Amino acid sequence: MSHGVPTPEHLELEFRKHYLVTGNVAGSAKAAGINIRTGYDLAKRANEDAEFTEARAAIRERALADAEVMMLAGMQLALERMNKEPLDAAALMALGAGKVHIQDSGPAYGKVVVDGYKALSMNRKGADTAANDKPVEVHVHLKPSPTTGEEPGGDGGG
């Protein structure tokens, strides 16, 4: 479409149908068969429409609950894999596997768990998000070792 020519209503509706669900301007413009620049103009107009933004908010609200369940399942799987015993390289070489290289994926799985927790706690609404904004004070009390009487990590001196 030429610059300055109004987009036909059926194309704008097709664009909005895709944009409502995906939130992707370029993909929605492609699906509607319009120029991406026109898509950005239509997205701006759609986001100024109260009914459209309410519909997007309702879809997002329903999707967040499902996404939270899926993320928790993924975090649980990552935690289970992180806690698995590593493969025994000597046993594998004894089977004739030759040179064996084992890569520990534990840190990557740990990152999945931490990032998932962060995403879940940042996106939750309500009273629990207010608590996340406040600093937390942590106290660590060390007991003397039962065998030496020394404090852990110390040289025994004062």
| Distance separating alpha carbons of residues 90 and 95, to the nearest angstrom | 9
Return the domain boundaries, the chain: 1-48, 62-133
| Distance separating alpha carbons of residues 43 and 37, to the nearest angstrom | 10
b/e burial code for range 72-95 (CB count within 10 A of at least 16 → b) = eeebeebeeebeeeeeeeeeeeee
- How confident is the prediction along the chain (158 residues), in pLDDT tens digits per residue? 556 678 889 999 999 999 998 889 999 999 999 999 999 999 999 999 999 999 988 888 888 788 888 888 888 888 887 777 777 777 777 777 667 677 777 778 778 878 878 877 776 665 454 555 677 787 777 777 666 666 555 554 44
Sign of CA dihedral 141, 145, 151, 152: negative
